[in-house]
């Protein structure tokens, strides 16, 4: 019986400490965490699998496009490195060519 009392007291202490920690973190204790979890589930219910798949495809397409742009920039950089710079006048962005 003594072990049961000790275990019960330890469990109650843990429960009180958990409640305090969750409250200190601004979560509203155990009840607040459960309410947030339920709110999260309701929010996720509003997003369909089709919408998620569409977004994933769009992101994949964007990544492919950006990868292609990066490859073209790499090619331009390689060409720029291969051509002697002294043959052409230096022009920066926004600088007009000399007439």
For residue 65 the two structure tokens come to 């496009």
Contact 98, 89 (CB under 8 A): yes
What is the Cα–Cα distance from 17 to 96, expressed in whole angstroms?
70
What is the Cα–Cα distance from 98 to 86, expressed in whole angstroms?
16
pLDDT tens for 2-44 read: 899 999 999 999 999 999 999 999 999 999 999 999 999 999 9
Domain coordinates in residue numbering, the chain? 14-46, 48-82
How many CA within 13 A on the CB side of residue 87? 5
pLDDT tens for 64-96 read: 999 999 999 999 999 999 987 766 666 767 666
pTM (2 decimals)? 0.50
| Chain centroid to CA 51 | 18
């Amino acid at each position: 019986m003594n072990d049961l009392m000790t275990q019960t007291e330890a469990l109650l202490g843990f429960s009180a400490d958990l409640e305090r920690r969750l409250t200190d973190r601004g979560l509203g204790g155990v009840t607040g965490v459960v309410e947030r979890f339920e709110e999260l589930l309701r929010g996720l219910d509003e997003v369909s699998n089709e919408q998620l798949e569409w977004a994933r495809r769009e992101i994949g397409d964007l990544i492919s496009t950006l990868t292609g742009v990066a490859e073209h920039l790499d090619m331009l950089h390689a060409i720029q490195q291969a051509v002697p710079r002294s043959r052409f006048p230096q022009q920066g962005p926004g600088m007009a060519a000399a007439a």
